[in-house]
Amino acid sequence: MRIVPMLATATVVVAAVVDVFPQERFSFFYPSTPASVERMLKLAELRDDDVVIDLGSGDGLIPLTAARMNARLRGRGVDIDPKLVDESNQRARDTGVADRVRFEHRNAFDADLREATVVTMWLFPELMRLLRPVILERARPGTRVITSTWDLGGWKPDKMLGEEPQVYLWIVPARVEGGWDWDLTVSGKQIPYGVVLEQHFQQIEGSGRAGDRREELMSATLRGADIAFTLNITLDGLGLTKHEFSGKVESDRDDGGNRGNRADRIVGTARVTPSQGETFTLPWRAQRSAEPRYFAPTGTALFERQPQLQVPQDR
C-alpha cells in the first residue's frame, strides 16, 4: 500500500533532481517500515559471522536493525546522500553499535562487496536490477541477497515470503560455466574425465566425458559454492558406472581485488558405484580448463571395438 504514494512522489522528485544527480537512475530516500526490515532480516537467518551490507542505506535502518537482532554481526551501509550517511553514523554511535556498524558515502555501484555475507536492497526495481550484475560479480558465492517488494527479474529467487510486501532471498552462485577436467583412478586404472557446464544464475546443466564416452549430467545443483551432479557412464572393463560428484567451488580471487566471481577449482568427493561391485568414495579435484577435454578429438576406436553398433551385413 505504501508503495503507491512512493511511486507517485517519485515522478515529481525524479523530474526535480534529474539535473542534480550524476547517475541515470537513483532511488530517493523513503524509509522501510521496521516490520518489513525485520521480515527481510528473518529471511536472511542472521548469523554471528555475518556482514550485512545495505545498498542505499538511507537513515541506516537495515544495518542498525540487523545489529540489534544479532549482537555479534557487523553492518555496513552505503548511500549517495552524505547527510543521510552522517545521520546513520550518528545513530550507530547513539545506539552503541558504532564498533560494528558503519556507513559510507558512496555510490552503490562502487560498493566493495568482498566482505558481505548478506546484501540488502530496498530501492526502485530498475536500480536493483542494474545492481544485479554488480552483486553477481563482486559478492562471494553463498552471499544471501535480500530485497523487499520487488524481485531481480530473470534471476529467480531461492526463497520468498509470500504475503505483502513480498520478501525475496537469493544465494549468489559461484560462476562455474565452462570446461572442467580431472582424473580418477578406478580399479587401478587412471581415467580422464571432463565436463562442460552451462549456467543460468543458480541453474546448471551439462555433459560429461570419461575416456572417449560422453553422457549427460543428471541432478546437477549449485547453491552458492556447493556443486553436485551425477554422471552415469560406461567405463572400459567396469561397465555402466554411477559417479556422484559433490564439492565446493574455490576461486583464486581471494588474494584481493574485485577480479570477478569466477571459480577456478572444485574440491570434493566422488562416490563411484560400478554396475557390479561395491560403492567406494574417492577424493575429487577438478580444475577449470582453457582447453576442455570434453572437446578433445574422440577418434573412432570405440566404434571399432563395438561392432554391434554397425548395421548387420545380412540386412
201 binds ligand SAM (CB under 6 A): no
Nearer to ligand SAM, 62 or 186 (CB): 62
Do residues 229 and 206 lie in contact, with contact meaning Cβ atoms separated by under 8 Å? yes
Minimum distance of ligand SAM from residue 64's CB (angstroms): 10
Beta-bridge mates of residue 146: 120, 169
- Closest C-alpha to 120, from 110, 133, 108, 107: 108
DSSP strand pairing (280-288 vs 178-186): antiparallel
Of 51, 46, 218, nearest to 140 (Cα)? 51
Among the residue ranges 54-62, 91-99, 133-141, 209-217, the one whose residues contact ligand SAM (CB under 6 A): 54-62
Binder among 57, 88, 117, 261 for ligand SAM (CB under 6 A): 57
* Residue 11, H or E segment: helix 3-17
Size of the site for ligand SAM (CB under 6 A): 23
Question: In angstroms, what is the minimal distance from the CB of 149 to ligand SAM?
Answer: 10
Q: Which is nearer to ligand SAM, 57 or 230 (CB)?
A: 57
Cα 289 from Cα 282, distance rounded (Å)? 21
Specify whether the CB–CB gap between 40 and 114 falls below 8 A: no
The nearest distance, CB 77 to ligand SAM, in angstroms, is 7
Distance separating alpha carbons of residues 118 and 145, to the nearest angstrom? 6
The binder of ligand SAM chosen from 41, 56, 89, 261 (CB under 6 A): 56
Q: Reduced to 3 states, what is the DSSP secondary structure of residue 141?
A: coil
Answer yes or no whether residue 92 interacts with ligand SAM by CB under 6 A: no
Please state the closest distance from residue 80 (CB atom) to ligand SAM, in A.
4
| Span from 58-66, 155-163, 200-208, 231-239 in contact with ligand SAM (CB under 6 A) | 58-66
Q: Report the SS3 class of residue 29.
A: coil
**Interacting span for ligand SAM (CB under 6 A) from 56-64, 218-226, 247-255, 290-298:** 56-64
* Cβ distance to ligand SAM smaller for residue 58 or 206: 58
**Taking CB under 6 A as the rule, does residue 107 contact ligand SAM?**
yes
| CA distances to 9, 10, 13, 55, 73 from 30, in Å | 10, 10, 12, 14, 25
CB of 148 to ligand SAM, least distance (A): 8
Q: Does 58 bind ligand SAM (CB under 6 A)?
A: yes
The strand pair at 51-55 and 74-79 is best described as parallel
Binding flags for ligand SAM, 70-89, as an x/- string (CB under 6 A): --------xxxx--x-----
**Closest CB 128 distance from ligand SAM, rounded Å:** 10
Compose the 108-137 pattern: x for residues touching ligand SAM by CB under 6 A, - for all others: x-------------xx--------------
Q: Does 103 bind ligand SAM (CB under 6 A)?
A: no
Report the alpha-carbon distance of residue 105 to residue 94 in Å, rounded.
19
**Residues 24-43, mask of contacts with ligand SAM (x by CB under 6 A):** --xxxxxxx-----------
- Considering beta carbons, is residue 106 or 265 the nearer one to ligand SAM? 106
End-to-end CA distance of the chain: 75
Q: Judge residue 297's burial from the number of C-beta atoms within 10 Å of its C-beta, 0-12 exposed, 13-18 middle, 19 or more buried.
A: exposed
**Three-class secondary structure of residue 96 per DSSP:** coil
Residues lying near ligand SAM in the complex (CB under 6 A): 23, 26-32, 54, 56-58, 61-62, 78-81, 84, 107-108, 122-123
